[in-house]
Amino acid sequence: MSAAPPARPAFSRAVIELRRVTKSYSRGEAEVHALRGVSLVVERGDLVAIMGASGSGKSTLMNIIGCLDVPTRGHFWLDGVDVRTLDEESLATVRNRRIGFVFQSFNLIPRTTALANVELPLAYAGVRGPERRDRALGALAAVGLADRTRHVPSEMSGGQQQRAAVARAIVTNPALVLADEPTGNLDSASSDEVMGIFSDINAQGRTVVLITHEDDVAAFAKRVVRLRDGRVVDDHRVTPVDGPPPRRGRDRSPASVAGGMPS
């Protein structure tokens, strides 16, 4: 008989909780150990940057946190759910409703308006009619794109496209926003603007995890976790979980995001 999973505390503030997670891949006759016993807890309302060089394991860790992959060994709870107990259909539901993804390449649908792009996760979740439209409009307003709802991606700058992607990520009111190199395709001014958006949504209670190799991006985080060779080698708290993010972007203030958060 396999061992039962370890008990999780009855009350936990953790959105992410990993215990001794390993991930191994077979490449021919060789076995590659991408993660080597990673334990990590991310509390609700935190803004965490996970950093590391190529081959450090940060992309593998992102895939596990995003429920795109499962550990070889160890345990992972996302917002209180033991992910290893879920089948593929349940994992898809978790990805749609509990995680908001933001990618380096934006992943917006061409020739489709910003509003329709942001409505898409709600459509998958079965939200219909005026509620879907109102929530999408609220998310776009929250990232400063209330005047770009009818624009298609080709009519928006890179920074505006990424802000639309952030709106799409938060529209389902997820437990976690997971961003993979979110400024990798942006110039410095647009990067600063987008990171200011992440700081603002975090200041309003959203949990955000950034996967990055850029120190300028990590400077916005309340906590910086560094990986090397599949292990956590440094875990540095910058500001308290319930404190303000250390940076907000150029000329931004805590009240700078219009429209608040979608409910």
User: The domain spanning residue 226 has which CATH number?
Assistant: 3.40.50.300
Q: Is residue 8 in some structural domain?
A: no
pLDDT above 80 for 18: yes
pLDDT above 70 for 238: yes
Question: Diameter of the chain by CA atoms?
Answer: 59
Indicate the number of domains in the chain.
Answer: 1
Q: Is residue 116 in some structural domain?
A: yes
Q: Is residue 261 in some structural domain?
A: no
pLDDT above 50 for 260: no
Mean predicted confidence (pLDDT) in 39-55: 96
H helix or E strand, kind and range, residue 5: none
Report pLDDT digits (tens) over 102-142. 999 999 999 999 999 999 999 999 999 999 999 999 999 99
Put the strands of the sheet holding 176-180 in their side by side order: 99-103, 176-180, 207-212, 47-51, 223-228, 231-237
Q: Is residue 6 in some structural domain?
A: no
pLDDT band at 257 (very low <50, low <70, confident <90, very high): very low
- Residue 42 CB burial class (10 angstroms; 0-12, 13-18, ≥19): buried
Determine the Cα angle at 120 with ends 114 and 122, to 5°. Answer: 120
Q: Is residue 74 in some structural domain?
A: yes
pLDDT band at 251 (very low <50, low <70, confident <90, very high): very low
- The closest of 229, 164, 221 to 190, measured between CA atoms, is 164
H helix or E strand, kind and range, residue 4: none
Q: Is residue 9 in some structural domain?
A: no
pLDDT band at 13 (very low <50, low <70, confident <90, very high): confident
- Residue 133 CB burial class (10 angstroms; 0-12, 13-18, ≥19): middle
- Which residues lie below 8 Å from residue 170, measured CB to CB, with a gap of 6+? 100, 139, 142, 177, 201, 206, 261, 262
The tokens for 36 are 């080597």
Supply the mean pLDDT for the chain: 89
Q: What is the DSSP letter of 69?
A: S
Residue 254 confidence (pLDDT): 38
C-beta of residue 211 within 8 angstroms of C-beta of residue 40: no
Q: Is residue 94 in some structural domain?
A: yes
Domain range for 145 is: 14-237
Q: Is residue 252 in some structural domain?
A: no
Q: How would you write 123-180 as a 3-class SS string?
A: HHCCCCHHHHHHHHHHHHHHCCCCCCCCCCHHHCCHHHHHHHHHHHHHCCCCCEEEEE
